[in-house]
Amino acid sequence: MKRTLRDYARAAAVFAVVALVSATGACSLRGSAPETTTATPAGPVTVVASTAQWGSLVQELGGSQVKVTSILGSANADAHNFEPTSSDISKISTAQMLVVNGAGYDDWATKAVGKSSVLVSAADTVGASEGDNPHLWFSKETRKNMATEITESLSKILPSEKTYFHTQLSTWQKSETALEKRITAFAKGHNDLTYAATEAVAYYLMADLGFKDVTPEGYLRSVQSSGEAAPADLKSFRSLLDKQEADLLIDNPQTSDDASASLVEAARTAGISVIDVSEQMPQGTTTLEQWVSALITQISEDTAKSSVSAPPSASTSTVPDRSASSTK
Q: What are phi and psi of 32, to 5 degrees?
A: -85, 120
Identify the band that residue 293 occupies on the pLDDT scale cut at 50, 70 and 90. very high
Given this chain, do its domains 45-181 and 191-305 carry the same CATH topology? yes
State how far the Cα of 211 lies from the Cα of 214, in Å rounded to an integer: 9
Quote the pLDDT of residue 31.
Answer: 46
Report pTM.
0.82
* Dihedral over Cα of 39, 44, 71, 130: its sign: positive
Quote the pLDDT of residue 80.
Answer: 78
Query: Cis peptide before 44, with omega less than 30 degrees from 0?
Result: yes
Identify the band that residue 160 occupies on the pLDDT scale cut at 50, 70 and 90. very high
Average pLDDT over residues 23-27: 44
Share of the chain above pLDDT 70, in %: 80
Q: pLDDT tens digit string along 133-149?
A: 999 999 999 999 999 99
Asked if 206 and 250 count as a contact pair (C-beta separation under 8 A), the reply is yes
Instruction: Kindly provide the residue ranges of all beta strands, DSSP E only, lying in 41-109, ordered along the sequence.
Output: 45-51, 66-72, 97-100
Sequence spans of domains, the chain: 45-181, 191-305
Q: pLDDT tens digit string along 55-80?
A: 999 999 999 999 999 999 887 888 87
Describe the strand order of the beta sheet including 118-121 as a list of residue ranges.
Answer: 66-72, 45-51, 97-100, 118-121
Is the model's pLDDT at 28 over the cut of 50? no
Homologous superfamily of domain range 45-181? Nitrogenase molybdenum iron protein domain (3.40.50.1980)
Q: Which of 199, 218, 318 is nearest to 264 (CA)?
A: 199
Identify the band that residue 254 occupies on the pLDDT scale cut at 50, 70 and 90. confident
State how far the Cα of 129 lies from the Cα of 182, in Å rounded to an integer: 29
Q: Considering the domain 191-305, what is its CATH architecture?
A: 3-Layer(aba) Sandwich (3.40)
Quote the pLDDT of residue 42.
Answer: 83
Q: pLDDT tens digit string along 277-287?
A: 999 999 899 99
For residue 148, CA distances in Å to 62, 141, 206 come to 12, 11, 24
Three-point CA angle 202, 213, 206, nearest 5°: 35
